[in-house]
Structure formats: structure tokens, C-alpha cells
Structure 1
Amino acid sequence: MMLTRTLRSQCAMPALGLGTWPIKGPKCIDLVRTGLESGFRLIDTAQMYTNEVSTGMGIAQSGVNRHDIFLTTKVVGCNQGKLTRESVEMSLERLGTDYLDLILIHWPNPSLGRAEATWETLANVREEGLTMSIGLSNFSLTQYDALVDATGVEADVNQVQIDPWARQSELVDGLLERGVMPQAWGPLGTRAARHNTELDWSVLETVAARHGVSPHAIALADQLGRGFATVVRSSNPEHQLANLKALEIELTDQDKADLAGMAQETVHLYDSTVEEEF
């Protein structure tokens, strides 16, 4: 059975999800179809990925009932503000569904100054039943608090950069204290975000050997054990099944201590006051 996280909306969100970036076309269809066949029940896409049509086709081809799938997409920067509602309706059409389980603002994009208007629109969209839950992506605690102060609307989820080296403990704890579920993107490390620095996998490999699973499964199990959600991407069915093993792993206190020791202060983190996408 899939581990779930209960959101502020009272929706049960699978704790381990399947991401689709940057896969497109037939490869994306296959990724989604095989992921659902393997046992994933959360599918994560975004307007920016330009693969919502393929994601919807993969869901349709899987044979899994839509109501058994937790489907997430995200509002791209250029659709923030006046275009938000129309963009949500277009996402629904591309995905071939009449509702979303979760929709996020993909980036704060402070230079646009449209986050508040976008957030209020998403709250209205939720009231109308077009989405069950609403959330954010890449918002700092300061940006989150400012958004809530301005609109009075709390988030269900904040999807943020978390991996074995960038553990983001302060951000995770702050979100949980606010009743917001952190959800990790890039949970296995994003090389591009670290300027191609080689990452040390030796601790993950050692812990994996103790449990007879892959290092990737250990990284995911560690994140799940910390009480939040995570989204991992793999188009290989064998790797998808290996990643799902994370749900069966019980880490020891020694495992947890070893993994916590992997944190690196020098790891590059995207700065959402500077980094923007449109």
C-alpha cells in the first residue's frame, strides 16, 4: 500500500511520486504508463515541461482509474496573473481530465509581482472544484509568509529542492510548523544545480548494502522517514520498481545518523529571490 501524507485540504497525497521533467512525447507516455503499472500513484508534471498531453495519454493507456491517481501540474511564469485561470483550464484539456489533485505556482518570480493575484485565482479554482488542493514550488519561508499575509490563503504543499546533500532542514521544519507539506524535487541530486560537481555517494552505497537495495531507494527512504513527500523521475521500469522499494525500508538509527552526515553547506541551492522562470 502506498504511504500517504494528509494535506491541509484533507486530501491524501502519495508520499512518493513520479516526476516527468524533462521527458516529452512517446517517451513520456511510456514513463507515465509504466510508472503507474509499477505502482506509482502520484504523477507530477507542469505547464513548463510541455508534456501535459503526453502525461495524460500515459495515464489513459495505463488502465489505472483516474480517481486512484494524484495528478499535479504547475502554473508557468508567463501564465501568472490574468492568464492563470485560462491556463488551468488548458492544462485540464491537455491532461484529459476534469480536475486536478494539486496545482502549484511553479516559481515565485518576484520581478513579475503576480504571485498574489495568481494565488488568489488558484484559491478560487479550488473553490470551483477544478483542483482539490493548491500549493507552491520553490518558495522560501519568507516568500511564503508574505504571500499568506497578503492573501490570507495557506498552502497545502511547497515543492522545493531537497536531496541527500542539500537536506534543507530549516526549510522543512518551517514548512511543517506552518502546516505545509514539503515535497522534494531533485531528491537524488541535480548535477546541473551543482555546476557538475561530483557528488559523494559512498554513504548511500554503504547503507544500501546493509539493506540490499539501491542507493537511490535509500535516499528516498531517508526523505520519507523525515516526514515529508518526494518526487523522483525514472523512465526505466526496473528503476521505477527499485525506487518504490523505498516504501519498504526501515532505516536504523545508525543509518539515519550516517545519512544526516552527508549534508554539505557548499551545495548549490537555487535562490528563488534571483532564479526565475517564465
Structure 2
Amino acid sequence: MSDCRGLNEDGGSDVDRRAFLGTGAGAVTAAALLGQTETARAQDQPAAKASALIPKRVLGKTGVEVSMLNLGTWKSVGLDRILRLAWSRGLRYIDTAASYGSEPAIGRWMKENPGVRKDLFLVTKDGHANTPKDLIAGLDKRLEQLQTDYIDLIFIHALGDSNIDKQIEWPKSREFKETAEAIRKSGKAKFVGFSCHHPRQAEILQNAAEGGFVDAIMVRNSSWANHEAPFDKALDACHKAGIGLISMKQIAGNTKIDDIAALLPELKEKGLTPYQGLLHAIWTDERFSSVCVSMRNTDQVRENTDAAQRFKPMTKAEISRLRDACLAAGPTFCAACDGSCSRAGGTDAELGTLTRLLTYHDHHGYREEARRQYADLRPEARDWTGADLAAAREACHSKLDFADLLARVEKNLA
């Protein structure tokens, strides 16, 4: 999943206004509460003169220019309105997946607006690949759901999550290379790659750089880089190999947004929200062609597209202060997780995965999906009994409070 914002300041289960507007029955209730104001604002956008396009960057060796902000989607009663507004504000890159439930709505929107397809960079993912070749059959299903003859980029979804020992070699395997070549030759997808948020994603990316045939990768990423870390070196290798890089989850887990704002008055002076500051920090890293953000309502579309239109690179000092403020606010998710927390805690439990799923539940509002993924984990991946949580916190790159967060995992996901 990509980024989304959702909960109240203490990270509890009460959704804030943004999440309330964008999720299930809340969207319907909110429309009644807000009267015609929000609807009128959204409907005015398509009729108005089109906004300037979101700034674009070249996607690696593909040579294709893509919007530096892309719309992460999820099944929602308000998705059609979100698509229309995002398009009117110059966004030309849409991200979906088999598991997101948003493909049919995107397909209907394209059918109703046939002129958009030629200018749209459309990306989807399939997570049911037991072998790389399975992506071919998965692609046919994605095309059917999207009601289109081709997509621009197809990903294997969450490479490594289902079987890391087998899948870690795929990005440089002959079978995946032949699969990618066959897909591109068929014309059903122009480009082929994978998304990844496994703790061993640095190794996976290094293999992709060595393989040399992957067109693009979407990776879990933080807004600040440790240039000595294996992941950052893997990003360098992929960038040098011409692989297009897309950032995701750079906002996830930052729920105490007012605390961050209080620590960074300079953001307010620039007219930026903390979320916009996080996006500016990511865009400052020119290795990334685009940033995927799940937008669940029109407020988020406006906030994020405004951030893209007003982007200016941040200094190292500004990014460092942003990092310190975010960590001080107590995040629920570590975008830089490499498994060091579990190793330090002396446990086989996947502490980084557990807190990521808690973030899906609490921050994104993807409650059913978070519980489903939790249930699919191996029993030992869920069992943190006896773990040294203090040592795990010390080893965590984001200093997550595992004692508190794992208790919430047990309460909300188990």
C-alpha cells in the first residue's frame, strides 16, 4: 500500500476529518453534514480551466516522463470524484492493484472519459505470482478489471513477502527476464517491475541492479537517507542501472501531526503542512521519479497536488530538523526497517511488519485488510513473546515504542 493519512493525534481509533471524508459510510455521512460545500468544490474543478500539469520526471531508462506525484487508490465510494479532481489539478499518474479494489472504478472513469487514456500513466500490481511467469496471467486479469487494452507499468506486488527465500533472486533470474520481455513484446504492458517493502529490500534492489532488465521499482522509503546504509547504496545501484524509482510510505505512521508542526514553525512560515514538508523532502532526492500517496478524499488531493506545484528542494539541515520532529512525535511505522529491531530483540517476530499493519489499521483506515494480512502471517512472525522490546526500540531506525505499539497490534489485529 501507499501512503494515506487518517487518525487522531494520539493514534487511536477515532478517524479525523480527512479519513472520515474518505472511508465507507463516513463519506456518505460527511456529505450530509457538510451540505453542498464539498460537492460544489469538487464539481467546480472539472469545469474550470485545467491546472498546470504536476511537474514531471523521467522514469529511469524508460525515457517516459511521469508526474512526480502519483495517486494511490483504494476502493471508496468517493473514488470517482477523487479521480476527477486529481486529473483537473494536473496529476497524470494513477496507481492501483488487484488487492486494492479500485481497478473497476478506474476502468469506468476511463470509459466515461476516453480522452484521458492517452495522457495517463497507469500502473497496477498483481500479488498472486508463485513464479515470475504467473505475472502474465495476472496481467490479463488486471486488464479485464481496468477495461483497457494495455497498462503502462505492471508490478509484481510486494516482492518477497510471500516467500523471501525464493523471491529474493527473481529480480536477476532468467525466468523473470523472459517474462518481462514477453509482456513488453505483447503490448499489454509497456514496462515491468515490482513493489517491495520487505526488510531485505536492500538485497532485492541490489539483485535488480545486477539483473538489469527491471524497468521500475516502488519501494518503502523514508524522507531522510542514511547514505552509509545498504538500502541507500542499493538505491544508488538501481539509479545507476537506469531503473525508475518510485517512493511509497514516506508519510505513513506520522499521526501526531500537530506535534510535528509545533516543532517546525519554519514550515508554517513557508505555508507548508508537515505532510507537504515530508513530500518535499522525498522530492529533494532526485533519484526518485515519483512519489505514491494514497489519497482518500478531496482535501488530500488538494494538499498533495499543491505541495507538488510548490516544490522547492530542502536543505540537509531542514531535512534533519524534519526527521527529528517526526521521530519526537512517536511514529507508528519505520520506513527504513531492515529487520534490525527483531534481531536486537532476539525474536523471530516480524516487528516491522506488525507495526506496518498497525499503521494500515490506525493511520490509513484499512482495517479489514490489516487484519487479513495479520492473519496470513506465519505464527512465529506474530509471536513476540519474550522479545527484548527495549533493545528492539534502540535498534529501530525510527525508535518505535514497540511495547505500546505491539499491545495495540494485539488489541486491534489479533
TM-score by length of 1: 0.80
1:199-210 equivalence runs, <5 A: 201-202=260-261, 205-210=264-269
Residue 205 to residue 260, structure 1, CA distance change in 2 (3 Å): closer
Query: SS of 1:230's equivalent?
Result: strand
Per the TM alignment, residue 99 of structure 1 is displaced from its structure 2 partner at its CA by 1.2
Q: How many residues align?
A: 268
Structure 1, residues 48-76: CA drift from partner, whole Å, max 9, x if none? Answer: 22321122223444565201111101121
State the Cα deviation string for residues 243-269 of structure 1 (Å, max 9, x = none). Answer: 1122213245353453355686x9365
Aligned: 1:5 with 2:66: no
Local SS of the residue matching 2:166: coil
**Quick one: distance in 2 between partners of 1:19 and 1:66?**
17
Q: Is the CA contact (8 Å cut-off) linking 2:153 and 2:189 kept in structure 1?
A: yes
Of the three residues 89, 97, 106, the one matched with 1:46 is 97
- Distance in 2, matches of 1:50 and 1:122, equals 25
- Long gaps (5+) in structure 2: 1-52, 328-332, 340-349, 354-372, 378-414
Q: Given that residues 280 and 314 in structure 2 are in contact (C-alpha distance below 8 angstroms), is that contact kept between their aligned partners in structure 1?
A: no
Instruction: Please tell me whether the aligned partners of residues 153 and 190 of structure 2 are also in contact (alpha carbons under 8 angstroms).
Output: yes
After superposition, the Cα gap between the structure-2 partners of 1:210 and 1:159, relative to the gap in structure 1 and judged at 3 Å, is same
From the superposition, tell whether residues 262 and 183 of structure 1 become closer, same or farther in structure 2 (CA, over 3 Å): farther
2:87 equivalent in structure 1: 36
Partner of 2:278: 219
Distance 2:151 2:266 in 1: 37
CA contact (8 A) 1:102 1:135 kept: yes
Report the secondary structure of 1:123's partner residue: helix
Superposition RMSD on alpha carbons, in Å? Answer: 3.4
Q: Which has more radius of gyration?
A: 2
Helix, strand or coil for the counterpart of 2:292?
Answer: strand
How has the CA–CA distance of structure 1 residues 91 and 213 changed in structure 2, closer, same or farther, with 3 Å as cutoff?
A: same
- Is 1:267 the counterpart of 2:325? The answer is no
Structure 1 CA distance for aligned equivalents of residues 209 and 263 of structure 2: 38
How far apart in 1 are the matches of 2:247 and 2:263?
18
In the alignment, structure 1 residue 190 sits paired with structure 2 residue 253: yes
The answer for unaligned runs of 5 or more in structure 1 is 192-196
Q: Deviations over 1:16-61 (max 9, x none)?
A: 10101xx215333333233223322110001122321122223444
Cα separation, 1, equivalents of 2:300 and 2:264: 16
Distance 2:188 2:67 in 1: 20
Distance change (3 Å), C-alpha of 1:25 and 1:269: same
Bigger CA drift: 114-123 or 153-162?
114-123
Amino acid aligned to 2:275:
H
User: What is the TM-score when the length of structure 2 is the normalising length?
Assistant: 0.56
SS of the equivalent of 1:26 reads coil
Q: Pick the aligned partner of 1:233 from 294, 314, 323.
A: 294
